[in-house]
Amino acid sequence: MQSPDTSGANTIRHDWSEDEVTALFQTPFNDLVFRAQSLYRQFFDPNAIQLSTLLNIKTGGCPEDCAYCPQSARYATGLNAEPLMDIAEVKSAAVQAREKGASRFCMGAAWRSPKDRDLDQVIEMIRVVKDQGLEACATLGMLTREQADKLKSAGLDFYNHNLDTSEAFYETIISTRTYQDRLDTLEAVREAGMKVCCGGIVGMGEGLADRVQMLITLANLPSHPESVPINLLVRVEGTPLEDQADLDPFDMVRMIAVARIMMPASYVRLSAGRNEMTDELQALCFLAGANSVFYGEKLLTTGNPEFARDQSLFRRLGLKATH
């Protein structure tokens, strides 16, 4: 293998080809991780980690049919649908997140898209989060440009909306909205001037070509998403993907490494699935260029590592939280 390009030139690219990204995935593991880590050091402090805390502000009862999702009303996952959370609860969760050391607070809602009445309440929540000195992120489903403008004016820093997988594999996972709908929302968020958080899920039965295509779609956008969450499927009983086969853990590391190489200035987040990962696998993901995690004992409906476990992991690895 050639030595990594350490000049920093030509590393932010938007012209990735299928052949070259496939070749990256097929690079011997040590070469791939070395290259990702070398590039990573040109853009970031290698011993810093960004911590985002999630809060599910509207649980369950979602009309969409995303095959991975415990919050779809179509699947019997035993989850009780709840109304939009009240502002006091959001405030106490934001206070706790800040006290525990998170820098960003991300509010998720099980909606296809927000109604205007809902949006007014979310705007109040954004204020409460910003008052704590936290960055605010939300993931509320599809947005129109007008809705994106409203959220931007309210001070929302990031909007999360994932591609989830490749366009080709997408139709086996979701039928209630199109890939183009997702791209349109991402464009509305970008045009409104918010930072984009967009990634996907591995371990849903997709092939290598699907991982390649998803990363190409992300990296060939006019601007790279500032934040790229890579989720490992959390297999929830009652969802169509409950019996999905295990993913080879090294494929998770490869996915992180290739995302890091293709979008070197972006935060790559080791997202859902950490609760089922060993500390050693997480450390390999950090070595491959992951520099952000969801931090807090719950994701949206499923478990995430306890604070004490994460704090111990970060201490043992000498990782410091970014502020």
CA 317 to chain centre: 22
Question: Is 300 a binder of ligand DTB (CB under 6 A)?
Answer: yes
The residue behind tokens 């968020």 is 189
Residues with Cβ < 8 Å from 161, sequence gap 6 or more? 139, 141, 142, 143, 182, 185, 186, 189, 196, 197, 198
Given 56, 71, 227, 282, the residue binding ligand SF4 (CB under 6 A): 71
Beta bridge partners of 104: 52, 135
State in angstroms the smallest separation of the CB of 156 from ligand SF4: 18
State in angstroms the smallest separation of the CB of 232 from ligand DTB: 10
Residues 256, 289 contacting (CB under 8 angstroms): yes
Active site residue 198: no
Active site residue 269: yes
* Distance, CA of 125 to CA of 37 (rounded, Å): 37
Choose among ligand SAM, ligand SF4, ligand DTB, none what residue 301 binds, the Cβ cut-off being 5 to 8 Å by kind: ligand DTB
Residues 295, 42 contacting (CB under 8 angstroms): no
Given 162, 185, 282, 292, the residue binding ligand DTB (CB under 6 A): 162
Choose among ligand DTB, ligand SF4, ligand SAM, none what residue 72 binds, the Cβ cut-off being 5 to 8 Å by kind: ligand SF4
* Distance, CA of 145 to CA of 186 (rounded, Å): 10
Active site residue 62: yes
# residues near ligand SAM by CB under 6 A = 17
Residue among 13, 35, 41, 69 flagged as catalytic = 69
Residues with Cβ < 8 Å from 23, sequence gap 6 or more? none
* Distance, CA of 159 to CA of 140 (rounded, Å): 8
Sites for ligand DTB among residues 233-292 (CB under 6 A): 234, 271-272
Residue among 35, 104, 106, 190 flagged as catalytic = 106
Residue among 35, 104, 137, 285 flagged as catalytic = 137
* Distance, CA of 27 to CA of 1 (rounded, Å): 9
Given 141, 229, 264, 296, the residue binding ligand SF4 (CB under 6 A): 141
The residue behind tokens 């699935």 is 273
Question: Is 233 a binder of ligand SAM (CB under 6 A)?
Answer: yes
* Distance, CA of 239 to CA of 183 (rounded, Å): 25
Given 44, 64, 70, 119, the residue binding ligand DTB (CB under 6 A): 70
Active site residue 69: yes
Comparing CA positions, the residue from 210, 209, 217, 167 lying closest to residue 187 is: 217
Binding site for ligand SF4 (CB under 6 A): 62, 64, 66, 69, 71-72, 110, 112, 141
Binding site for ligand DTB (CB under 6 A): 54, 70, 108, 139, 160, 162, 199, 229, 231, 234, 271-272, 299-302
Binding site for ligand SAM (CB under 6 A): 68-69, 108, 110-111, 139, 141, 161-162, 164, 201, 231, 233-234, 236, 272, 300
